[in-house]
Structure 1
Amino acid sequence: MLAVVSGGGTAGHINPALALAEELASRGWDVRFAGTPGGVEARLVPAAGIPFTSFEASGFDRAHLASLPKGVAKIAASTAKARRWFREIKPDVVVGFGGYVSIPVARAAEKAGIPVVLHEQNSVMGMANKYLAKKAAALCLTYECPGCDLPASTPVHLTGNPVRRSVIEADRAAGRALFDLAEDDFMLLVFGGSLGARHINEAVCALKDELLARPHLHIVHITGPKELASVTEALALTPEQERRWHLMGYQDRMGQTMAAADAIVSRAGATSLAEISARGIPALLVPYPHATADHQTTNARAYVEVGCAFMVPDGELDGSLFAERLASLIDDPAVREAQHRAACGRKTGQAAAMLADVVEAEAKGGRRAVQ
């Protein structure tokens, strides 16, 4: 069986797509990936050993309507290219994870009668998935409500958001060895996504003395590449303090890093939340306030409501609430245990298998009549 997986634009689309590809490959599937030539997928997918084919695709700027014809022309050309590609490789199913590139790939599949399965990572459905959902064979969701009206004719499955095995299977002892942590050391992991989060960095730095007053606390602080210099200057750590405050701009061993963590402070992007949930790590979430339709707040609220995490709005980072919630997370084992149990109850580690089950069922259903 052959699956084409498509998505692009951000790691939030690509990482769950790669998690599905891993699961399908373990079941004996052949997997190909369709993405944009300049997106992060063009680097991550080949690095994962998956054949990659590029397609041009872009949206349009509502403030500059002149960009619309160019975007439409790219999608039309890529749709034609995808149809030629499909005639050559004959896929059994196409799986779209969002991003503009999934539009021409899914449209080409529809025209060829190939079933299309969509996966939505966030609590608010992205534009590409919203556009494609009406004709999809199945729509798989991370949250019970994706923030928009769902097409009545499309079967909907709640699968959760797939997480790569490098995160789920990462070894805690190996992760703690990365930072020379003793068994009784407490590791707080702070990160804001691949680009960092300036306001989170500033709020944590403001608590430097209070945090370092805990003798067994280690902070692993991933600032984002552009923020490392300013955070280093703001903290002005002594050599002794640097032993317990581990600063870095970027970390490419996030699986082991998360495995080592006892608690986390982070934004509420879909991939970050799925990885935190899959590992059952207690967390304090600070949603990015400018995300489309404020979807990070909706993402985080779903975790808070079932007891997996605390949440502090970005606008309240400079007040007492952030310091109080962080202190509770660090100092109260009962709080962490309750959050750990609640996160494990979401069974996020099974999401890739659940999504793969849907993909297999649709592929085995055969090709649809071409419209």
Structure 2
Amino acid sequence: MTRTLEVAIAAGGTAGHINPALALAEELRDRGHHVTFYGRPSKLEGTLVPAAGFELVEVDVTGFDRSKPWTAVTALARVASAKRALGKRFSAGKAPDVAIGFGAYVEVPLLGWCKGHGVPYLLHEQNSVPGLANKMMADHARRVCISVPAAEKVFAREGDAAHVELTGNPVRRSVLAGSRAAGRAALGVPENATMLLVFGGSLGARSINAAMGALKERLLAVPGLHVVQSTGKGGYEEAAEALALTDEEASRWHLESYIDNMGDVLAAADLVLSRAGASSIAEIAALGVPSVLVPYPFATADHQTTNARYLTDAGAAVLFADDALGEPAFGDKLLELVCDADERGKLRAAAAGLAQDKVVAKLADAVEQVAGE
């Protein structure tokens, strides 16, 4: 691809949609293309997109509540209005050469306009269980890029094997550039220590925090082990009270409410205990960190378990159900991995074999290919 493309990206609502889109945008910008985002300034994209140096064009849409079917009328009216607004913008000479949607409802007006005006578009699906917006827009997509094999059956077309491409879930370069030395320096973890990183995200971290409290004595009995535990903003006080760390214990048990330099901290870790959200799986795999995964049990269609199997089937992670955290087998396995560098090395090698760090280039290639067809 030699010509400069005008690329439209629709992503919004959650970091799980926005960060993969920003990873792609950074790669496309480096290749000389111009990228514009379409979303809602009042949502998370209103902060993350401008901070990354990209223009965000407002798309005024709302989702609808499936339990209240009448809300679909308002939602469809807003989509139609947003399409008209985009049409005015594009008629002024700012039409994209190619577009890609990352699954949020905000993509529907943009991709609907593209469909009606002959502009090719792609979709990217982060999860193993696709969302409604991508399913709605899939029929006219030139390419559907998926993060895990389990999503293929939803989008597959008979006789068109190229319609779905397993690219993986792109990770932002700030994570890929994570530094073990910088992460350990920021946390005060010695270079020769073994570091266990624990994070549960904003949803459902409570059971992981409780399990860590129950394993406190066993873990602190391991010589040289440092535990870095991110409780989630809503779980910090409860976890701190349950752990009741002395000053001496707190020198090796680093309790945080949130980690904002995740690339460095992941790179610093020897083992991760985590939920299995799409972004977490992608980041863990990209940095090749051995992991113990505990899927959030109330995720739609149990998609976090399916996400986790992408790593466990490759031999890169160990899986435990949330309701197994109180059983002896969980604690025994976690301690085994903390103490056995050779076993962790096998998981790390398997994670590296997934080539997750090459995903963003593969997705950018797909955008260029579709634009050039």
Equivalent-residue separation in structure 2 for 1:103 and 1:20 (angstroms): 19
Deviations 1:79-108 (A, max 9, x none): 222222233312111111111101111111
Decide whether the 8 Å contact of 2:6 with 2:33 is kept in 1: yes
Deviations 1:12-37 (A, max 9, x none): 11111011011101101111111123
Report the TM-score when normalising by structure 2: 0.95
- By how many angstroms is 1:231 displaced? 0.9
Number of aligned residue pairs: 365
Report the TM-score when normalising by structure 1: 0.95
Decide whether the 8 Å contact of 1:9 with 1:41 is kept in 2: yes
The sequence identity of aligned pairs, in percent, is 47
Equivalent-residue separation in structure 2 for 1:247 and 1:170 (angstroms): 20
- Aligned twin of 1:10: 14
- Aligned twin of 2:289: 281
1:336-351 equivalences in 2 (<5 Å): 336-351=344-359
- Aligned twin of 1:297: 305
Letter in 2 for 1:228: Y
1:68 partnered with 2:72: yes
1:356 partnered with 2:364: yes
- Aligned twin of 1:84: 88
Q: Which moved more, 1:12-21 or 1:31-40?
A: 31-40
1:31-110 equivalences in 2 (<5 Å): 31-88=35-92, 89-110=94-115
Q: Mark the runs of 5 or more structure 1 residues left unpaired by the alignment.
A: 366-371
What secondary structure sits across from 1:64 in the alignment? coil
1:209-228 equivalences in 2 (<5 Å): 209-228=217-236
Cα distance 1:111–1:315, how it changes in 2: closer, same or farther (>3 A)?
same
Equivalent-residue separation in structure 2 for 1:87 and 1:289 (angstroms): 47
What secondary structure sits across from 2:297 in the alignment? coil
Equivalent-residue separation in structure 1 for 2:123 and 2:318 (angstroms): 30
Decide whether the 8 Å contact of 1:24 with 1:31 is kept in 2: yes
2:150 corresponds, among 133, 145, 154, to 145
2:130 corresponds, among 106, 125, 139, to 125
What secondary structure sits across from 1:4 in the alignment? strand
- By how many angstroms is 1:194 displaced? 4.4
Stretches of 4+ aligned residues off by more than 4 angstroms: none
Decide whether the 8 Å contact of 2:199 with 2:274 is kept in 1: yes
Equivalent-residue separation in structure 2 for 1:262 and 1:24 (angstroms): 32
Deviations 1:236-255 (A, max 9, x none): 11111111111111121111
What secondary structure sits across from 1:182 in the alignment? coil
Decide whether the 8 Å contact of 1:125 with 1:147 is kept in 2: no
- Aligned twin of 1:229: 237
What secondary structure sits across from 1:340 in the alignment? helix
Equivalent-residue separation in structure 2 for 1:100 and 1:65 (angstroms): 16
- By how many angstroms is 1:333 displaced? 1.5
1:169 corresponds, among 145, 164, 177, to 177
1:188-267 equivalences in 2 (<5 Å): 188-194=196-202, 197-267=205-275
Q: Mark the runs of 5 or more structure 2 residues left unpaired by the alignment.
A: none
